[in-house]
Amino acid sequence: YVVKESRYSYEYVTRLIRRLLRNRNIKVVVADDSDTSRQYVRQLLVTHLYQVQLAKHGREALEMIKADPEIKMLISDYNMPEMDGFELTRALRREYDKKDLVIIGLSGYGSATLSAKFIKNGANDFLMKPFFHEEFHCRIMHNIEAMENIQALNDAANRDYLTGMYNRRYLFSAAKELYRVAKENGEPLTAAMIDVDHFKRINDTYGHEAGDRAICAFAKMIGETFGDYLAARFGGEEFCVLFPGVSIEKISPMLESFRHKVEQTAIPFLSDHLRLTVSIGATDVLGDSLDNLIRRADVLLYESKDNGRNRLTT
Ligand code: GH3
Ligand code: MG
Ligand code: MG
Ligand code: MG
């Protein structure tokens, strides 16, 4: 590539190489009923190291994409049997956002209005066959980068920088929907507030870096234990987990065993080990708002603190 593209700037070539290395992890579906066209696009993508899967019509592509959440891009022809490119795009957009799946429309014949239609149906971009290799690659690269940038922005807004966990902002936005569903269907929703005991002592004894390390290790334990639920770093050394559809009676043993596991775990730090305990407050009394539910869990957490810490109060 460097030789072939050397009439480009050093920056362009570096960017291209970096791109190629990342492409190895990007799965692309090519949907086209023409064998020649399908193989041609596949070849272009393979030279840029993308992982390519081929589909002969829209329905096959739809099934492939639904079966594999790692597929990040679809390049789709318009005219295909079973399901055409527009139908395919519309069906996919009901489930996948533009930032989760890039769709690029492709067509050989047709009018200039085809591109607008593809985009109105939800495609990110459109290419008219025949196209120049360079335009093809530039557009693909541009669209993938746009998707990655949006994902990076989303993560910056929704995740906590230190632990990579969801932050309080995201928790509240997602919890609103969980709360609404619980209220409407009369289903349980349990909220648990989890706070590390005497965390200041970790910082005071071992320094801030040890504190950060302990928070990360603790966050990892929360993720491992409560991965099926909605867990977030609420702030500092305080975490919140929401259990949709689960009553407090059902989840208490799990919270209790988490408390116990934390108590038993030694977190390695330099030549020493850090030990933590946690206090937990949990409730499924929905009250009249999400804020109320979480506030109640917080009150119970403070009861755990007042009663000697390292305990669960429900
Ligand atoms: P309690 O048992 O009452 O919860 O005592 P505590 O010391 O854990 O509670 P407090 O809320 O008084 O102090 C929490 C401390 O956690 C204060 C702050 O220095 C520390 N902390 C919060 N966020 C971070 C962080 O991201 N990194 C580090 N190293 N420390 C943090
Ligand atoms: Mg066709
Ligand atoms: Mg604390
Ligand atoms: Mg605290």
Q: For residue range 9-23, what is the model confidence (pLDDT) as tens digits?
A: 888 888 888 888 989
Looking at residue 114, its pLDDT comes to 85
Fill in the DSSP letter of residue 265.
P
pLDDT, average across residues 45-65 = 96
pLDDT, average across residues 107-136 = 85
CA atoms of 4 and 2, how far apart (whole Å): 6
Instruction: State yes or no: pLDDT of 7 exceeds 80.
Output: no
pLDDT in tens, 154-172: 999 999 999 999 999 999 9
Looking at residue 140, its pLDDT comes to 93
CA 192 – ligand 2 centroid, Å: 54
Instruction: State yes or no: pLDDT of 224 exceeds 80.
Output: yes
Looking at residue 272, its pLDDT comes to 85
N residues, the chain: 314
Atom 22 of ligand 1, nearest CA residue: 236
Instruction: State yes or no: pLDDT of 32 exceeds 90.
Output: yes
Instruction: State yes or no: pLDDT of 3 exceeds 60.
Output: no
| Ramachandran bin of 198, using left for φ above 0, alpha for ψ from -120 to 50, beta for the remaining angles | left
Measured from the Cα of 211, ligand 1's closest atom is: 29
Measured from the Cα of 210, ligand 1's closest atom is: 29
Mutate to test the pocket of ligand 1, among 165, 201, 237 (most ligand atoms within 8 A of CB): 237
The stretches of 48-198 forming alpha helices (DSSP H) are 58-67, 85-93, 113-120, 133-158, 168-185
Helix (H) or strand (E) holding 283: strand 278-283
297 contacts 193 by C-beta, under 8 angstroms: yes
Residue 111: which pLDDT band, with cuts at 50, 70 and 90? Answer: low
Task: Give the closest ligand to the alpha carbon of residue 305.
Answer: 1
CA 106 – ligand 2 centroid, Å: 9
Residue 6: which pLDDT band, with cuts at 50, 70 and 90? Answer: low
Mutate to test the pocket of ligand 1, among 160, 200, 275, 279 (most ligand atoms within 8 A of CB): 200
Looking at residue 110, its pLDDT comes to 65
pLDDT in tens, 66-95: 999 999 999 999 989 999 999 999 999 999
Instruction: State yes or no: pLDDT of 2 exceeds 70.
Output: no
pLDDT, average across residues 18-31 = 92
Ligand 1 binding site (Cβ under 6 Å of any ligand atom):
162, 195-200, 203, 208, 211-212, 215, 236-237, 305, 309
Instruction: State yes or no: pLDDT of 279 exceeds 80.
Output: yes
Atom 17 of ligand 1, nearest CA residue: 200
Looking at residue 107, its pLDDT comes to 79
Q: Catalytic site residues?
A: 237
